[in-house]
Structure 1
C-alpha cells in the first residue's frame, strides 16, 4: 500500500512523462503482478494498478496508456497458464479505468481520441506482433466493462420497486448512454473487423461484440436487420436510378 501511494504521488506530478520511462515503470509493475501469488493480493494489485489511470495528468494519459499496452503485448507470450488468469484480470481492470478516466473528464474529445488511437496503434492494430489472446480478451470484456462503467453509481436493487423509482433508474441509464460516445469507442473494433488478416479474429469481433444485444439496445451498433434493410434500400435506389436513365433508341 505504501509503495502504491508513493507511486501515485509520483505520477500526479504535472510534468511530462517520457515514453521510455513510462515503459520501464510498466515493466516493473508487470513483474509486481507476476510475483503476486495469492488471489486476494492479486485482485487488490490489479485494482490498484488499474486506478493509476484515474490520477494521471491529462497530458500524460496517452503515453501511460500506450506504455501499458506496449509492455503487456511484448510480455504476453511469456505468461504461463498458471499466471494467465491474474493478467487477464489486470487487463480488465486497466481497460475499465482507462475508459473511466474519459468519463471522469466528461468524455473530453482529445482524451477519447488519444485512447482510441492507442487501441488502434497497439492491441487492436492487427499486427502479427500482437498475440491473438489480447484482442480476443478485449472483445470478450469490452461490452461488460462499458456496461459496468455506464451504470456505475446507478443503484438497482433486487426486488419490487415502485414505478416511480424504476422510471428514475431508467432515466439515469438513458442519460448515461446518451452522454457516452459509444459509437466512437467501438470504431477501432469495427475497423479491425475489416482489416484483420486472421479470419477467426474478424468473426469474433462481428459475432461476440458487434452483435452484442446491449450495444444494439444502446444504439452503439446497428442490428443485422437494420444493416440488411439499409443494404436493400441502397440496392432498390440503385435499381430505380438505373430504370430512370435514358439509354438511347433501340
Structure 2
C-alpha cells in the first residue's frame, strides 16, 4: 500500500531547489494520486503546500507556465471521490499563502489560478453539470475564493477569479441551450458576492462579471436573472 502523503518523501521533494528532484517528485505524485480513491483533507493540504512551493521554486517563464499547466492537469487524473476535496485544498492553500507571493512571483500563480478555474469547469462539464456536483463545488467557491464576507480571503484572489470566470467558462461550455439551470447555479457564488460582498468594490467587480455580454447571449438574449 502506498504511503500517506505526509510520510512520502516526494512531498518534501516537490519544494526542492533541484529541478530534476522536483520533476521526479511530481511524476511520483501523479502515480500516487491516480491510485487513490480517498485522501484526507489534512493530507491534501500538506500535499498542496508542497505543490505551491514546487511552483515557487520554478524559474524561467516558459518552464513556469509548463509546470502550472502540469499542475492544472492533476484533477483530470484523480478518482472522482478525490476531485472536489483536492480542489478545495487548492483554494485554501492559495488563499493562505497569497500574502507572501511577491510581485516577481505573482504572474505564475495568477496563471495557475486561471487554469484551475478552467480545470474545475472541465470537471463539472465531464459530470454533465449534475446538480449535486455543481452545488458542492459552488459551496467551495463561496467558502474561499469568492467568499463575500470573510476578509481573511485576499481581495486580489477574489478579483482575479472574477476576472477570468466567464472567460474560462466559455472555453469549456459556450453553448448553454438546455443547460440554463446549470449556468445560473455556476453563477450563484458571483451573484452572492455582488449582493453580500462586505466591500463595495467587491460588489461592483462581481456585478461587472455578471454583466458580461456573453452571459446574456447564453441566456438567449436575456439579462441577469
- Which TM-score applies when normalising by structure 1? 0.75
Aligned position for 1:118: 140
Partner of residue 56 from structure 1, selected from 58, 63, 78: 78
Aligned position for 1:187: 188
Deviation string, structure 1 residues 57-112 (Cα, Å, up to 9, x no partner):
12112211110011100000000000111000010011110110111222233321
1:17 and 1:102 map into 2 onto residues whose CA distance is 20
Partner of residue 168 from structure 2, selected from 145, 149, 157: 145
Q: CA RMSD in A?
A: 1.9
2:156 and 2:130 map into 1 onto residues whose CA distance is 30
1:177 and 1:81 map into 2 onto residues whose CA distance is 41
* Matched positions, count: 201
Deviation string, structure 1 residues 169-202 (Cα, Å, up to 9, x no partner):
xxxxx4x554472111000110111111111010
1:134 equivalent to 2:157? Answer: yes
Superposed, 1:151-162 pairs within 5 Å as 151=174
Partner of residue 18 from structure 1, selected from 40, 50, 57: 40
Deviation string, structure 1 residues 36-58 (Cα, Å, up to 9, x no partner):
11111111111111111111112
- Bigger-Rg structure (1/2): 1
Contact between 2:37 and 2:80, CA under 8 Å: does it hold in 1?
no
Contact between 2:147 and 2:193, CA under 8 Å: does it hold in 1?
yes
Contact between 1:54 and 1:98, CA under 8 Å: does it hold in 2?
no
Give the 3-state SS of the residue equivalent to 1:82 in structure 2: helix
1:195 and 1:185 map into 2 onto residues whose CA distance is 17
1:83 equivalent to 2:83? Answer: no
Aligned position for 2:202: 201
1:66 equivalent to 2:67? Answer: no
Contact between 1:22 and 1:64, CA under 8 Å: does it hold in 2?
yes
2:86 and 2:216 map into 1 onto residues whose CA distance is 31
Deviation string, structure 1 residues 86-141 (Cα, Å, up to 9, x no partner):
00001001111011011122223332122111001111112100010011001100
Deviation string, structure 1 residues 132-171 (Cα, Å, up to 9, x no partner):
00110011000110111125xxxxxxxxxxxxxxxxxxxx
Instruction: Note closer, same or farther for the CA distance 1:42–1:177 as it changes in structure 2 (3 Å cut).
Output: farther
Instruction: Note closer, same or farther for the CA distance 1:186–1:107 as it changes in structure 2 (3 Å cut).
Output: same
CA shift for structure 1 position 221: 9.3
Instruction: Note closer, same or farther for the CA distance 1:31–1:177 as it changes in structure 2 (3 Å cut).
Output: farther
2:221 and 2:63 map into 1 onto residues whose CA distance is 38
1:9 equivalent to 2:31? Answer: yes
1:35 and 1:17 map into 2 onto residues whose CA distance is 25
Contact between 2:215 and 2:223, CA under 8 Å: does it hold in 1?
no
Instruction: Note closer, same or farther for the CA distance 1:147–1:109 as it changes in structure 2 (3 Å cut).
Output: same
- Which TM-score applies when normalising by structure 2? 0.83
